[in-house]
Structure 1
């Protein structure tokens, strides 16, 4: 049970809504005679004197009590601040708000420079998966945070992404998993349609042309491919990898679609004006040679390929 109302102008509405959600679930379980393993997402705000925290604590206690009375398994997760792609600005997290503001030329403001205990949504999903797989029962399972950081430090990192990535073309150092997750989150707030493709700096003289394809503060892997006319590569997505396609010769159509949506974004690239498109996480993507000659493409990805953990999921755009 992950659903909840986080914010509302009327605190009582938050409390009433969240308690009613729990009671509706319990009523459904009783009416069907179901005795499942229930997992409930509560929050470390349980410890605060506010209606959201109170509703989560009391909701967890209601479910725990019902499970004991009905000989059912229950896991009550007490979760720290969660961040990740597609969180709602001004609602889910300060990271969602700051990322939206910085990618839309707005100036973030810090009201309270709090020390935040954070977990990335992908890390949380892995914990939930393991709890289900191992059938772990606990009325109060404290989910550990993976990074503790001040709001000012978060904003400094995000402003660095804007300055280095947007304005100077640098890909950041992504060796630290937290920084990688923060960058992938930040990138998902980009107005993809207007930002890409990005033209690369090209210098030409009588000898030919020289093009800088990428500036890295990160490691990873750079590959080169040729693609025959009419051939499509890709049709997959990643959940943690950052990736760039740079077309340096020929004509290409790059397509992206966010998982769970139907809208397809189309980008036409021409090697006579070398350019690139970066692939946000949770966006399936492909590249097709639309020309009459071989297509030359440079690919960068932030980590080496590991056949045991490829983070590559097939899905047609």
Structure 2
């Protein structure tokens, strides 16, 4: 069992890494970290002494004064190194740097110098260090106007605002889930590589990204249709966008019923892509689900009976509750990294239609059980 500590575990990449490592409980044990450890030598020393691997993600990305960014980031590395030297600990230390190293800015300079300091410590002690030079990262739950232009644009588009493009540059990107898997692979290898270049998995102009997000707003958020997703990048971008919507107030979405003397007709889902459609009945008082997905798109459509659908983002406590009735057929879509369930709260059988964007694969189900 490898003990892994993550500085910055509450941040954008850190929280994704922390939550993903929890899915490998037979392989990794997480050593909790809090930001105030950097201000307390005893707590920081206790932390580093427990770790077989430290993933150093704590850093400042934005500040009105660039000198503050530089001093903060270099200072965090120096504080970590001071603790490692005091304790004599030699964990495999993984440092997250950035492709901005080569740019003429103090953020990039702070990252390059931090990686160099750790490389020197590795040479002096023989402890393994991996300095990961990472392209632009995007994904769910990043802070707008801080972590990435994707987070900013997703927030603005979802709110109906018009983002501004200041420089229509060409971005080399990696999805946070892909980066997390890259970090996990590095943890497993435990090899020293001070200059580890992380390859980007997608490339797009800023204007192209914005056009895709606006299409998601029109097709999905406004019309309820699942858009055409031409490749893995567009799937990851769509799943990212969905997590920036006001989920609590967007769902449930009522269907349009077409009624005539024969009865009623409801279109459950309109697709730009394939997948799998299922149907279930649930007896009164029974709950289905209590699991989450990290990549799948899923829709629950209640067509008869009364249901309570609950969602909770992994790592948080707030539960979103949606009551649906077959008298007014409606649906709720499940965002990634939200554990969810559906319970029959009526007195008759509950009829539900489920759609998911990929066929079920028992060897790769992307289904992780956790009670809401």
TM-score range, shorter chain: over 0.9
In the other structure, the counterpart of 2:27 is none
Unmatched segments (≥5 aa) in structure 1: none
- Choose from 62, 79, 89 the match for 1:24: 79
- Kindly report which structure 2 residues correspond to 1:180-219, keeping only aligned pairs within 5 A, or say none: 180-219=235-274
In the other structure, the counterpart of 1:234 is 289
Aligned mates of 2:250, 2:306 — CA distance in 1: 19
Q: Secondary structure at the match of 1:239?
A: coil
Aligned mates of 2:321, 2:219 — CA distance in 1: 26
Structure 1 contact 173–219 (Cα < 8 Å) conserved: no
Residue 136 of structure 1: how far off its partner (Å): 2.9
In the other structure, the counterpart of 1:289 is 344
Aligned mates of 1:176, 1:43 — CA distance in 2: 25
Aligned mates of 1:148, 1:112 — CA distance in 2: 15
Residue 32 of structure 1: how far off its partner (Å): 1.2
Q: Secondary structure at the match of 2:299?
A: strand
Aligned mates of 2:197, 2:89 — CA distance in 1: 26
Residue 174 of structure 1: how far off its partner (Å): 3.4
Aligned mates of 2:244, 2:302 — CA distance in 1: 24
Q: What is the root-mean-square deviation of aligned Cα atoms in Å?
A: 0.7
In the other structure, the counterpart of 2:10 is none
Q: Secondary structure at the match of 2:110?
A: helix
Task: Indicate yes or no: 2:63 matched with 1:4.
Answer: no
- Choose from 105, 120, 130 the match for 2:175: 120
Which digits, 9 at most, give the CA deviation of each residue in 1:200-243, with x for residues without a partner?
A: 11011110000000000011111111011000000011111111
Task: Indicate yes or no: 2:88 matched with 1:33.
Answer: yes
In the other structure, the counterpart of 2:135 is 80
Count of residue pairs the alignment pairs up: 317
Residue 23 of structure 1: how far off its partner (Å): 0.6
Given the two structures, how large is their TM-score scaled by the length of structure 2? 0.84
Aligned mates of 1:2, 1:306 — CA distance in 2: 34
**Segments of 4+ in structure 1 off by > 3 A?**
none
Structure 1 contact 246–276 (Cα < 8 Å) conserved: yes
Given the two structures, how large is their TM-score scaled by the length of structure 1? 0.99
Task: Indicate yes or no: 2:123 matched with 1:68.
Answer: yes
Q: Secondary structure at the match of 2:327?
A: coil
Q: Secondary structure at the match of 2:217?
A: helix
- Kindly report which structure 2 residues correspond to 1:94-105, keeping only aligned pairs within 5 A, or say none: 94-105=149-160
In the other structure, the counterpart of 2:215 is 160
Which digits, 9 at most, give the CA deviation of each residue in 1:128-159, with x for residues without a partner?
A: 11111122321100000001110000001000
Aligned mates of 1:174, 1:303 — CA distance in 2: 12
Q: Secondary structure at the match of 2:348?
A: coil
Residue 175 of structure 1: how far off its partner (Å): 5.3
Task: Indicate yes or no: 2:224 matched with 1:169.
Answer: yes
Residue 86 of structure 1: how far off its partner (Å): 0.3
Aligned mates of 1:110, 1:96 — CA distance in 2: 14
Aligned mates of 1:29, 1:4 — CA distance in 2: 18
In the other structure, the counterpart of 1:279 is 334
Unmatched segments (≥5 aa) in structure 2: 1-55
Q: Secondary structure at the match of 1:225?
A: strand
Residue 167 of structure 1: how far off its partner (Å): 1.9
